[in-house]
Amino acid sequence: MSALVLDDAQRVALEYPLDARLALTGPPGSGKTTILVRRALRAAAEGLPVLLTAPSRRGVARLRAALGDAPQAASIACAPLADVAFEVLRALDPAREFDAIGDVRAAQIFERIGAPLFSLEWSEIVGAEIDPEITGLRTPQRFAAAAYRLIRKLRRAGISPRRFKELCEKGATQFFGRMPNLAAPDLIMDTASKYRDSLRADPAELARQHAREIDLIKILVKLYGSYAVALTGAGCLTGDDALYEAARLAHGAPRGAVARYRAAFVDDAQDATSGQLAFLRALFGEDLRAVTLAGDPGQATRGFAGARGDAELNAGSPLVLSTSYRCAAPILALAARALDPTKYPAVAAESDAYSLYRGQDADDEARFVAATVKRLLAGGAAPESIAVVTRSLPAAHVYIDALLGRDVPLDVAGEASLYDFPAVQDGLAALWAAANPYRHEYLMRNLEAPWLNLSDASIAILCAEPPEQKQPLLFTLPEDAEDEDAIRGRWDRLRDLRLARNVTRGDADAALPDEARARIVAFRNALARWESLERELDLPQLSRTILGETVLAVARDDARGRFACGLIARLQAQIEAFAMRRPLGTLSDFLEEAEAVAALDSDLLSVDERLPGCVRVLDVEAAKGCEFDHVFIVDVRAGAFPRYYVPDAFLFTPSFGMIPKENVGEGARSARTAKFTYALYRLGLRAKYNAEERRAFACAATRARTSLYVSASGRPTRGVAAPEILEELTQA
């Protein structure tokens, strides 16, 4: 640990009794994490069993780095709360085996559980006990994703299937039994004109909506109950499931059975979920004695994902560190203005500490970012001292491409699918060619990829029927067919086999130019060799061979090539993890699973940093807890940063119960249900969402030590559905 000159507030926090609850808050850069780690080291020096943790695994990794090589670091358990929960489960129930699984695998289990519903095979639906015209069920994949998101939030909140049912039924009874005034002027003015018809529901329409809400509750309760039984019964638990089960078991266990740690220190506590807080209470008591919580309610950006730690930080009398030692004063003023433009004054359009830029389009903005980063590097800035922060990592590809185009070394981290990156798609295409060359969408990508790089003319030849070699029909076309177009459609689909045949059998080789023919012959030989190697090598070795002869073989020794190699290394790590989980799994098995994973929501997936010495492209959550000399916040326009509030097909709150959004079924007179329109107004969900997005922007801005660059593109909107933060910064 480096030397630190303490101010009075920091000294009080450091010396505060270890056996008491302490909530430590303060602005970014005020020393919260430093004090937290020093308190943990102090507790370890006094011989106490210590837990140092954070709500996210990235946060725990940062704490491990902060511990460094301090003498007491080895005696501190620095681990995610979910890992501790598994320890408690194994201690309280040693006869059972518990297997930690990720959200991706849990989502796949949930899909299997819900498959009979989505194919309308549930006995309740077949027997007409439940009307299949349910909110969201018109698009089953969307319904399944929304249902799984809800179940994850329920687990994080510690709400059991039985309690969920009780709250839903109570909420339905209270709303429909004591209807609020749907004609209230404030409610009508707050509702968009196209949805005001939902407030003109008569008693018959409300009764119909009530009946469908009850059917929706039955479906979701059954899904949640089946999911809980399937996972807990098999001992397969996600981190949230483990926290839920461990807290439940620990509350009924003797105190000594779970009291392994005598003190706990929690960083980024504003992002702790109800389930994590309940688990801490199960370990340390309801008053959280000997627990130090450090965080900043102003950086609470996970509320809509289930975080509730900001309330815990504000409870009682938190100790506030008021001085920020990280950011220049103009950057702090800009962040404050973004948080609340009605409270803080407008900032200048330009300053020595920050710069504001609006490009004509996304490409223009990306060029500005890449050129400025290149200038900073040329001026002596280290690549790792620069970060490009976006609200959503999947939207950052235009900036990534612009940076790589200027040979800027970079790496990425955040919530995103690895399979969305072009280099990984190239790698998957090569693997698919080995596993099944008749998957033509992947075979085509191989033909265009750098290791083949065929011209459009050569590809057209391979897609066409071979000259003077008509391929025989697989069956005889009926002579008396009435629908010639339908028969022609069947015929064309069969002829789709010819691309793979031309590639693998060489039927069109004679028509290809010499160079293209040589490349295709080499590729055909590689396919044959890979097929034979599949019988000799295990899956990781086979994939390493295929990727090494394709994507990695043509990777250049520049920023783009190194970035591609880093992505392929992540893909290889996923293949190795798959092989560990399924020792008998084949290459086709992995690729089919990868396709299913790629279709999941991006918030279930993540990409972690891998390459050192790089400019980092991060989303806000990955940037938390980090600091850089130079920070770029990009795509700051309404709908991107901040994002638009787009509610799921159904919402849930303990007070309202289930809140279906879409008004479906025979006789529906409006697009939205009356309950959804009223709840949106009564709970102020859009305003709360926009406030959270503002906190996300302020969090990103305060990662900067020296300079901050804020950019957007296109014309600003009026800022009705989502604020135009870039415009608000300078407007009086």
Give the residue-averaged pLDDT of 282-289.
92
Give the residue-averaged pLDDT of 484-505.
63
List the structure tokens of 249: 């078991």
Tell me the pLDDT band of 488, cut-offs 50, 70 and 90: very low
Q: Is the pLDDT of residue 490 over 90?
A: no
Residue 52's SS3 state is strand
286 and 358 co-located in one domain? no
Give the residue-averaged pLDDT of 539-568.
97
120 and 222 co-located in one domain? yes
Tell me the pLDDT band of 1, cut-offs 50, 70 and 90: very low
Nearest to 271 by CA among 57, 581, 588: 57
Q: Are 271 and 307 in contact (CB under 8 A)?
A: yes
Distance CA 651, CA 657 (A): 8
408 and 431 co-located in one domain? no
Residue 25's SS3 state is strand
642 preceded by a cis bond (ω within 30 of 0):
yes
Has residue 657 been placed in a domain? Answer: no
Tell me the pLDDT band of 141, cut-offs 50, 70 and 90: confident
How does pLDDT run across 194-240, given as a tens digit for each residue? 999 999 999 999 998 998 899 889 889 988 998 888 887 778 899 99
523 and 449 co-located in one domain? yes
Has residue 2 been placed in a domain? Answer: no
Per the prediction, the chain carries an average pLDDT of 89
Final residue belonging to a domain, choices 320, 355, 386: 320
Q: Are 327 and 702 in contact (CB under 8 A)?
A: yes
- Rounded to the nearest angstrom, the gap between the alpha carbon of residue 699 and the centroid of all alpha carbons in its chain is 18
Distance CA 639, CA 262 (A): 46
Per DSSP, the residues of 331-348 read HHHHHHHHH-TTTS----
Sign of CA dihedral 323, 328, 333, 339: negative
Q: Are 139 and 626 in contact (CB under 8 A)?
A: no
Has residue 604 been placed in a domain? Answer: no
pLDDT at 250: 86
Has residue 424 been placed in a domain? Answer: yes
Q: Is the pLDDT of residue 258 over 80?
A: no
CATH number for the domain harbouring residue 571 = 1.10.486.10
How many domains is the chain partitioned into structurally? 4
pLDDT at 419: 94
What single letter denotes the amino acid at residue 481? Answer: A
Residue 308's SS3 state is coil
716 and 635 co-located in one domain? yes
Q: Around 534, how many Cα atoms within 13 Å sit in the side-chain half-sphere?
A: 16
Q: Is the pLDDT of residue 45 over 70?
A: yes
Final residue belonging to a domain, choices 190, 205, 237: 237
Please name the helix (run of DSSP H) or strand (run of DSSP E) that holds residue 579, with its range, or none: helix 559-581
Distance CA 106, CA 237 (A): 8
431 and 493 co-located in one domain? yes
CATH number for the domain harbouring residue 253 = 3.40.50.300
Q: Where are the alpha helices (DSSP H) in 618-724?
A: 620-623, 674-683, 685-701
529 and 497 co-located in one domain? yes
Q: Are 391 and 620 in contact (CB under 8 A)?
A: yes
336 and 437 co-located in one domain? no
Q: How many CB atoms lie within 10 A of CB 269?
A: 31
Tell me the pLDDT band of 257, cut-offs 50, 70 and 90: low
Residues in the chain: 732
pLDDT at 121: 54
Q: Are 568 and 428 in contact (CB under 8 A)?
A: no
Tell me which residue range forms the domain holding 230: 102-237
Tell me the pLDDT band of 486, cut-offs 50, 70 and 90: very low
User: What percent of the chain is predicted at pLDDT more than 70?
Assistant: 91
391 and 274 co-located in one domain? no
Per DSSP, the residues of 252-302 read TS-HHHH---SEEEESSGGG-BHHHHHHHHHHHTTTTTTEEEEE-GGG---
441 and 575 co-located in one domain? yes
Nearest to 410 by CA among 396, 424, 392, 395: 396
What single letter denotes the amino acid at residue 274? Answer: S
Give the residue-averaged pLDDT of 717-721.
87
Has residue 692 been placed in a domain? Answer: yes
Q: Around 366, how many Cα atoms within 13 Å sit in the side-chain half-sphere?
A: 17
Give the residue-averaged pLDDT of 563-589.
95
Has residue 654 been placed in a domain? Answer: no
Residue 464's SS3 state is coil
Has residue 107 been placed in a domain? Answer: yes
Distance CA 131, CA 215 (A): 7
24 and 107 co-located in one domain? no
Tell me the pLDDT band of 372, cut-offs 50, 70 and 90: very high
133 and 271 co-located in one domain? no
Give the residue-averaged pLDDT of 701-707.
97
pLDDT at 188: 94
Task: Report which of residues 491 and 331 the model is more confident about.
Answer: 331
Tell me the pLDDT band of 449, cut-offs 50, 70 and 90: very high
Q: Is the pLDDT of residue 489 over 70?
A: no
Distance CA 32, CA 25 (A): 7
Final residue belonging to a domain, choices 185, 211, 237: 237
Q: Is the pLDDT of residue 130 over 60?
A: no
Tell me the pLDDT band of 493, cut-offs 50, 70 and 90: very low
Q: Is the pLDDT of residue 466 over 90?
A: no
Has residue 634 been placed in a domain? Answer: yes
Tell me the pLDDT band of 316, cut-offs 50, 70 and 90: confident
Give the residue-averaged pLDDT of 546-571.
96
- Rounded to the nearest angstrom, the gap between the alpha carbon of residue 464 and the centroid of all alpha carbons in its chain is 42
Q: Are 427 and 551 in contact (CB under 8 A)?
A: yes
How does pLDDT run across 61-94, given as a tens digit for each residue? 999 999 988 888 889 999 999 999 999 999 888 8
